[in-house]
Amino acid sequence: MQYRTLGRTGVQVSTLVLGAMNFGTIGRTTQDDATAIVDAALDAGINLIDTADMYSDGRSEEMVGKAIAGRRDDVVLATKATMPMGEDRNRRGSSRRWLVTALEDSLRRLDVDHVDLYQIHRWDPTTSDEETLSALTDLQRAGKIRYFGSSTFPAHRIVQAQWAARENHLSRYVTEQPSYSILQRGIEAHVLPVTEQYGLGVLVWSPLASGWLSGAVREGRAVTTNRSAFMPERFDTTIPSNRARLDAVEQLAKIAEQAGLTLIQLALGFVTTHPAVTSAIIGPRTLEHLHSQLAAADTALSADVLDAIDTVVAPGVDLAPQEKYDTPPSLLDPTLRRR
């Protein structure tokens, strides 16, 4: 396992991060499964675990808490807030009112007195940066969080938040967690140059593109990725963007084979090779999945392999732009374009 400094924090983290989104109902993972995965990941050298309050309605955090009991000091523990946690309209977002409550709920579920990295899961356009950053700064000063970061923020919002922290003499986001894979390279054009400029640690999610790059989606075979059960439209190859992804996967599989790598090694090695990326978040549902992804821990791609990948998916290109989560609200809601 390799380690890198998380932004400018001085904290050393593994280049593979154990993501716990599949713990609980989402991945049908039991507590015994989760504990076995966490134990194996830590034994392999992974030292950062990432979860969120909304994963399986809090169950993921509870399972992580039980799995790391007795090993808390070995773990850089990260969780997230802002996504809806129930029907109440104020149990979501990034207001001070909700973040203070959400963190207390997360600490209780995790059974810890602090988290190392607290992340704003999505940009909340209804809340000012000053409101959010002041709440996070106070939680940091209270010792309940060590650092805080953002997730899936558009580049301009990353810049705005950095400016707001400086302007209001508040602590700043030190990490960003964007979606990034060979099939979704859009952040190379805007987000990654900004994170490099501000010295942010970058923890990328979905490096296997929801299973497209795991080997679970191949030409002429039944789709076996778990996501296809509740997101069938993302794997329907009659949709042009999905057809483009499948064609790319077949070409990438040949590149991997010629390089003596699995498709998973190619995919994870690609994202961790980018100089702006600190770590890739993997989300195994089983020990078998974990071990297949751990095999990529020390994968280094040559320039020839990276050049070959560029011929399949060009730098800065998203093959499924409709699945991006950082699109400004004004492009999604027509009323915001016609005021």
Please give the positions annotated as active site.
55
Q: What is the DSSP string of 75-114?
A: -EEEEEE-S--SS-TTSSSS-HHHHHHHHHHHHHHHT-S-
pLDDT by residue, tens only, the chain of 339 residues: 999 999 999 999 999 999 999 999 988 999 999 999 999 999 999 999 999 999 999 999 999 999 999 999 999 999 999 999 999 999 999 999 999 999 999 999 999 999 999 999 999 999 999 999 999 999 999 999 999 999 999 999 999 999 999 999 999 999 999 999 999 999 999 999 999 999 999 999 999 998 999 988 888 777 777 776 677 788 888 888 889 999 999 999 999 999 999 999 999 999 999 999 999 999 999 999 999 999 999 999 999 999 999 999 999 999 988 787 777 777 777 777 776
CA 117 to chain centre: 13
Q: What is the pLDDT of residues 271-288, one digit of tens each?
A: 999 999 999 999 999 999
Cβ atoms 115, 79 nearer than 8 A: yes
pTM, 2 dp: 0.93
Domains and CATH numbers, the chain: 3-337 (3.20.20.100)
Cβ atoms 317, 244 nearer than 8 A: no
Q: What is the DSSP string of 139-191?
A: HHHTTSEEEEEEES--HHHHHHHHHHHHHTT-----EEE-B--SSB-GGGTTH
Q: What is the pLDDT of residues 59-76, one digit of tens each?
A: 999 999 999 999 999 999
